[in-house]
Amino acid sequence: MNAPSAYKWRTVDILVAAVLAVAFGVVFQLANGLWDVLGKVFVFFPPALAVIYGLWLVPAVLASLIIRKAGAGLFTETVAAAVSVLMGSPYGAMGIAQGAFEGLGAEVVFAAGAWRRYGALMALASGALGGAAATGWDVFVSYPMWTLAWKLSYIGCGAASCAVIAGLGSVLLTKALAGTGVLDSFPSGRKRTTV
């Protein structure tokens, strides 16, 4: 029996990506509120705010780990950003473009593995690169007045946050979901020990 193609999406793949995107669009809205609150806490050193950035990268890494198809991370992250905008995100349409950029950053790692490698290291690297892309976008678009040291601190903190929260967190979420049997129609559910 041939291995399933990484490029051919099934209906269930699209449905699961869409459900994840809607769920994380809601999470993004909650995270936007948390960002505003913590912005007041970290006023002494604003780059430290990136410590929660990983919340925005979870759908890109999680969808890739579950669905294991080319473009799963990019698609899910972009749609989640669009859902967040439709729910009133303060970032407007620019938030959708940034979501796509973040998703692309996370997707590149799985593309480098020809969408055949989905271990914990790939997830951590995907989160870190997606986080670097996201915070890199921010320093050019939102914080161009910051010093170079602050910009680098922000990008480093964001990449680390995304590696842990989005990368490691998605690995743990995938294992937990696989353990319930809800992922049995996906390779991630059938290969529970390799996630």
pTM, 2 dp:
0.93
Instruction: Tokens for 104, please give them.
Output: 């692309």
Concatenate the DSSP letters of all residues of 132-170 into one string.
HHHHHHHHHHT-TTS-HHHHHHHHHHHHHHIIIIIIIHH
CB 99 within 8 A of CB 83: no
DSSP 5: P
Class of domain 11-190: mainly alpha
pLDDT one-digit tens code per residue, 28-87: 999 999 999 999 999 999 999 999 999 999 999 999 999 999 999 999 999 999 999 999
pLDDT, position 5: 85
Instruction: Quote the Cα angle for 96-98-99, to 5°.
Output: 60
Where does residue 193 fall: left (phi above 0), alpha (psi -120 to 50 degrees), or beta otherwise? alpha
pLDDT, position 191: 65
Residues 49-70 as b/e (b if ≥16 CB within 10 A, e otherwise) read bbebbbbbbbbbbbbbbbbbbb
Nearest Cα residue to 102 out of 156, 147, 158: 158
pLDDT, position 2: 57
Model confidence at 190, in pLDDT bands (50, 70, 90)? confident
Where does residue 114 fall: left (phi above 0), alpha (psi -120 to 50 degrees), or beta otherwise? left
Residue extents of the structural domains in the chain: 11-190
Q: What is the 3-state secondary structure (H, E, C) of 75-103?
A: HHHHHHHHHHHHCCCCCHHHHHHHHHHHH
pLDDT, position 188: 84
pLDDT one-digit tens code per residue, 88-142: 998 999 999 999 999 999 999 999 999 999 999 999 999 999 999 999 999 999 9
pLDDT, position 3: 62
Mean pLDDT, range 148-163, rounded to an integer: 98
Model confidence at 189, in pLDDT bands (50, 70, 90)? confident
- The enclosing H or E element of 107 equals helix 92-112
In the chain, what percentage of residues exceed pLDDT 70? 95
